Amino acid sequence: MNDPVMPTIPAMSASQSIRLLIIDDHAVVREGLEAMLGVDPCFADIATAASTDEGVQCCEEFHPDVILLDLRMPECDGFSALEIIHRQWPEIRILVLSAGATAAEVKLVKRNGASGYLSKSVDRATLLAAIRAVAAGEMIFPREPAPKAGDAPQLSARELEVLRHLGRGLSSQELGVVLGISPETVKSHVKAIFHKLAVTDRAEAVSRAYELGLLAVDR
């Protein structure tokens, strides 16, 4: 439903031999991708790594042309892998695979040197096309601003502040004390938040905030 929209992919200069490195902590995904892509003749060799460290090491030894990188990894996070590898080997194209696509996440990834961003829910043909495209120097990113630019509600700084404290269990009174304003003002902010997020109570507001990326999960 929210698959990234693929840009038009230009004609390729034949089926080159692409050296591919897959970095994903899930063996299922790793071996699955390998099995899925291995049959394609455009790949010269495919290597896999189960962690950031392993991936970096693999770059030294294997010299890949393209890397498929999973962002969501438990211990070692994919972002650091992206930064490290891109800084050290700027010529390597990195195609980020992620489970949940946040607009902010896409932006971050783009800024940090990735050549593309794909949801894991894309089909094989799209994935193959994307790999070939980034190998050829294309940038593959979801068309972010277009479809759902309006669904990211613009909360004011004050409202965000109030929202954060709502998630900490503060009442309007307590929040008023913390922010140094009247509890009535707090209620006004809360009402505004409700309208902007299209919710009916504090619990739903907090939930939506997490889903929309307005609140972080890292505490």
Asked if residue 5 binds a copy of itself (CB under 8 A), the reply is no
CB of 181 to DNA, least distance (A): 3
Alpha-carbon gap, residue 92 to 115, rounded angstroms: 9
Across the beta sheet with 116-119, the strand order is 43-49, 18-23, 66-70, 93-98, 116-119
Residues 134-173 that bind a copy of itself (CB under 8 A): 166-169, 171
Binding a copy of itself (rule: CB under 8 A), the pick from 5, 15, 27, 44 is 27
83's CB contacts (< 8 A; 6+ apart) are 112, 113
Alpha-carbon gap, residue 179 to 181, rounded angstroms: 6
* Number of other residues whose CB lies within 10 A of the CB of residue 99: 10
Our CB check for DNA shows the closer of 13 and 154 to be: 154
What b-and-e string marks burial along 133-154, b requiring 16 or more CB atoms within 10 Å of the CB? bbbeebebbbebeeeeeeeeee
CB of 20 to a copy of itself, least distance (A): 14
Interacting residues toward DNA by CB under 7 A: 111, 154, 156-159, 171-173, 176, 179, 181-185, 187-191, 194, 200-203
Our CB check for a copy of itself shows the closer of 139 and 203 to be: 203
* Number of other residues whose CB lies within 10 A of the CB of residue 156: 12
Asked if residue 187 binds a copy of itself (CB under 8 A), the reply is no
Q: What angle do CA 209, 166, 171 make, to 5 degrees?
A: 160
7's CB contacts (< 8 A; 6+ apart) are 138, 140, 143
Asked if residue 195 binds a copy of itself (CB under 8 A), the reply is no
Given a copy of itself, DNA, none, residue 122, with its beta carbon under 5 to 8 Å by kind, binds: a copy of itself
Binding a copy of itself (rule: CB under 8 A), the pick from 87, 107, 124, 191 is 124
Q: Which stretch binds a copy of itself (CB under 8 A): 92-100, 107-115, 135-143, 175-183?
A: 92-100
Closest CA to 38 of 26, 48, 23: 48
Q: Which stretch binds a copy of itself (CB under 8 A): 10-18, 57-65, 177-185, 207-215?
A: 207-215
CB of 143 to a copy of itself, least distance (A): 18
Helix axes 78-88, 103-111, angle to 10 degrees: 20
- Site of interaction with a copy of itself (CB under 8 A): 1, 25-29, 31-33, 35-36, 50, 72, 74-75, 97, 99-100, 119-124, 127, 166-169, 171, 199-207, 210-211, 215, 217-219
